[in-house]
Every structure is written in C-alpha cells, then in structure tokens.
Amino acid sequence: MDKIDNISENKSNLGALAADGLIYGLVSGIAMYICLALFALFAGVKPGSPLDIFSVEGVASPWQGVLGHLAISATYGALFGVIIWPMKSLLASREILGWLVGVLYAALLLLVAQFVVFPTTSSPVEAFPTWQWAFAHGVFGLILGGLFARKLS
C-alpha cells in the first residue's frame, strides 16, 4: 500500500507542476510580448503589431495573435513543468539553477523555432530581428524558470 501512495503522490506532484507551468507560461508569455511591443514602439511601429504576426496567415487580428501567443506560452510552460519534475529537488536546493534551466529551455525553443519551424512554415514571425526574438525568449525563460525556482524553494 505504501508504494501505491508514493505513485499517487508523484503523479499529483507532476500534475501540479504541469498546472503551475500553464500559469507561469502565461505570465512569461505576457512578459515576452511586452518586450516585443517595446521593441516595436522604439522602432516607430504600433505596439500591437507583434501580435498581428502571431495571427493565422491572411488574417491580421491582434486578438487572434494574443490568444495564439498565450496558448503557445501556456503549452510550453506546462511542458517545462513536466520536464523539470525529475530535477525538482535539485532546483529547490539552488534557486539560480531554476533561472538557468529556464533560460536554457527558452534557448532551445528559440533554436527549434529558428531552424525547424520557420524554414518549413515560412512564418511571418521571422520578421522580428533575431536579437529581439532571442532577447524576448530570454525574458520568457528567466521568468518561467524564476517562478518555478521560487515555488520549489
């Protein structure tokens, strides 16, 4: 019976991390968008224009862009929660590791987008300068990793 309790506890911990990841991914995605909007504002473009890029091809709708971006951010946040589950005790011992793992995760997402997704889909997101896209992903990773590190410590 003790083993069954351990399995149930581990499953609930994994589920809790995935659920937290949904919320943390949303928060991190909002911060990422704010970075992109500030870059657009300083370039003389309307701050909502980054959201148009996240819309379905042919339909430039900021609301569709908001929902698409937040859905992707939440999904990646939940996936991050599942990925870090085996490392949670290590991350709990050193808060800085949570931040670092978050940034590495965001860098991996950026690389997959740049070299796998964009070349095969001709996504309009490629319109962002690479350094802005990388900076925004860094912010996403820092916040996502930081929120998990804070929760686990």
At 72-95, the pLDDT tens digits run 999 999 999 999 888 877 777 787
Tell me the pTM: 0.83
Distance of alpha carbon 21 from alpha carbon 27, whole angstroms: 10
Whether residue 18 contacts residue 78, with contact meaning beta carbons closer than 8 Å, is answered with yes
pLDDT of residue 49: 64
C-alpha 51/C-alpha 103 separation (Å) is: 23
Q: How much is the pLDDT for 93?
A: 76
Q: Where are the domains of the chain?
A: 2-152
Predicted pLDDT of residue 7: 43
pLDDT digit string (tens) for 93-136?
787 888 999 999 999 999 998 888 777 876 667 677 889 989 99
pLDDT at residue 2 greater than cutoff 60: no
As a 3-state breakdown, the chain gives helix, strand, coil percent values, each rounded to 5, of 85, 0, 15
pLDDT digits (tens, 9 = 90+) for 62-75: 677 778 889 999 99
- What is the enclosing helix (H) or strand (E) of 129? none
Residue 22 near residue 65 (C-beta atoms within 8 A) = no
For the cut 60, the answer to whether the pLDDT of residue 27 exceeds it is: yes
